[in-house]
Amino acid sequence: MTEPTKILLSETEIPKDWYNVIADLPFEMPPMLHPGKGSPVEPDDLAPIFPRALVEQELSTDRWVEIPQEVREVYGLWRPSPLCRARRLEKALGTPARIYYKWEGVSPPGSHKSNTSVPQAFYNKAEGVQRLATETGAGQWGSALAFACQLFDLACKVYMVKVSYDQKPYRRIMMETWGAECVPSPSPATEAGKRILAEDPDTSGSLGIAISEAVEDAVTHSDTKYSLGSVLNHVMLHQTVIGLETKKQLELVGHYPDVLIGCVGGGSNFAGLFLPFVADKVDGVAPELRIVCTEPTACPTLTRGPYAYDFGDTACSTPLLKMFTLGHAFVPPPLHAGGLRYHGMAPIICALVERGIVEAQAYDQIPAFAAGLQFARTEGFIPAPEPTHAIRAVIDEALACKEEGKAKTIVFSLSGHGHFDLGAYAAYLAGTLEEPQGCDALLKQALSCLPMVP
């Protein structure tokens, strides 16, 4: 029988547990530090902003965490997501490589983000929370949380990075369609926002600023908790449904990846794909497996940032995280891949990069869009700007396979569709898309604040 284009699983095969890689790491993760005391955070320190269940998951060392039935039922609206063989792209490239993409754009909000927004809304609701506050970059996380809050009957307030709020009005309407309130960040609704607006009324905003606003909103409203769409351990945990399904799907067609590729902003979509494969690499089951993070040269966290403790937000209100960071004050130049405009990175990914278990590579915006267009014109689906960075790496890898005559298995995370990013494709097609400028100067200034902990 020919291998199908889409490798599907049945709903009963939605994973019953999330996988916690912490249990299998051959090293200790550096702890999250309390911003005031400098000591490792205790569960009570996180209680004002997260529900108890998520705090437990954040600090957990258990290998498996059961997925509540109510969450699996919502996952069933779109999961298991298909693992697709990109045969037309392979043919266009003339490569002997097998290219697979895990297609997360099939969820109602159109990206992988709902894998964690749904359990986050569920646990908050279960503990009596009535309202969630969050930030969003390109709008994928904000719409995923709006969707989840609607299903679990929670109010939702989204602080959206101003440059994306202006560029992507449809993302805001999507959030409103699901009943959420969305404002541009920095906003006059918070002290952090007011302070930044006073300094620079024309700021394009950043994820770091928006996080400060959302955290402040949560701690100043007793009915409200904060919700984060990436970076933290519990978010990576929820996203492992991606990789757990992928592993099973690849087994069905008898292949094991030679290379896993994904884009990283905070890191959640790609961590979701690769974390369930890390133990294989570490334990010697698959020592040759390469795991490649792709990021934009305009926000080169893993490739140019130091590995240091830093704040997750601009206003220095979050715990300190050990991560590759460009400095918490770093505001990258405008870039269409709004979801990749974060100064830091998930500590789990950073620890793996630091130890050489995971690689990182930065790509310019224009070659990334060229790759995205080639994908759209062969496979049909139009990728969001973020995963075009992964596709650039995939195509380069597949062309290297052609050069070397090697039939490698390349698997990548196609984290979402680009239906709300077509303005960027229009600019690319018109030849008016530009590379973001001024990154070096911005970096020099932002990095000067480091290290935050000696």
Can you read off the two tokens belonging to residue 113? 């983000």
Considering only 34, 88, 194, 304, the residue that binds its own copies (CB under 8 A) is 88
User: DSSP class of residue 181?
Assistant: E
Closer to its own copies by Cβ: residue 173 or 189: 173
* 5 belongs to the binding site for its own copies (CB under 8 A): yes
The length of the chain, given as a count of residues: 454
Quick one: 152 or 226, whose CB is closer to its own copies? Answer: 152
Tell me phi and psi for residue 115, to 5 degrees.
-60, -30
φ/ψ of 120, rounded to 5, equals: -65, -45
For 413, half-sphere exposure in the C-beta direction (CA atoms, 13 angstrom radius) is 31
Among 423, 434, 437, 453, binds its own copies (CB under 8 A): 423
Residue 330 is encoded by which pair of tokens?
Answer: 């770093």
Give percent helix, percent strand, percent coil of the chain, each to the nearest 5: 45, 15, 40
Q: Which of 96, 23, 77, 54 is nearest to 401 (CA)?
A: 96
Q: Is 177 in the site for its own copies (CB under 8 A)?
A: yes
Residue nearer to its own copies on the CB measure, 82 or 262: 82
Binding residue for its own copies (CB under 8 A) from 35, 108, 184, 334? 108
Q: Are 308 and 448 in contact (CB under 8 A)?
A: no
Residue pair 158/180 in contact (Cβ under 8 Å)? The answer is yes
- Smallest distance, its own copies to C-beta of residue 238, A: 17
Q: Which residue's CB is nearer to its own copies, number 62 or number 70?
A: 70
CB of 340 to its own copies, least distance (A): 21
Task: Give the Cα separation of 259 and 272 in Å (integer).
Answer: 15
CB-wise, 71 or 302, nearer to its own copies?
71
Site string for its own copies, 133-152 (x = CB under 8 A): --------------x--xx-
Contact 97/172 with Cβ under 8 angstroms?
Answer: no
Among 25, 41, 54, 174, binds its own copies (CB under 8 A): 174
In whole angstroms, what is the distance from residue 4 CA to residue 206 CA? 42
Is residue 425 a contact residue for its own copies (CB under 8 A)? yes
Query: Token pair for residue 336?
Result: 């269409």
- Our finding on whether 6 is near its own copies (CB under 8 A) is yes
Q: Which is nearer to its own copies, 157 or 322 (CB)?
A: 157
3-state secondary structure at position 288: coil
Return the number of the residue (21 or 89) whose C-beta is nearest its own copies.
89
Q: Which of 419, 433, 449, 450 binds its own copies (CB under 8 A)?
A: 419
How is 231-282 classified by DSSP, letter by letter? SSHHHHHHHHHHHHHHHHHHHHTT---SEEEEE-SSSHHHHHHHHHHHHHHH
- Which residues ranging from 62 to 81 are in contact with its own copies (CB under 8 A)? 73, 76-78
Cα distance between residue 304 and residue 132, in whole Å: 34
Residues 258-297 touching its own copies, rule: CB under 8 A, are none
Residue 156 Cβ vs its own copies, minimum distance, rounded to whole Å: 12
Q: Which residues, numbered 361-400, are part of the site for its own copies (CB under 8 A)? A: 373, 376-377, 379-382
Bridge-partner residues for 361, per DSSP? 294
Q: Is residue 176 a contact residue for its own copies (CB under 8 A)?
A: yes
Contact footprint for its own copies (CB under 8 A): 1, 4-6, 8, 10-12, 73, 76-78, 84, 88, 106-110, 147, 150-151, 170, 173-174, 176-179, 373, 376-377, 379-382, 419-420, 422-423, 425-426, 429
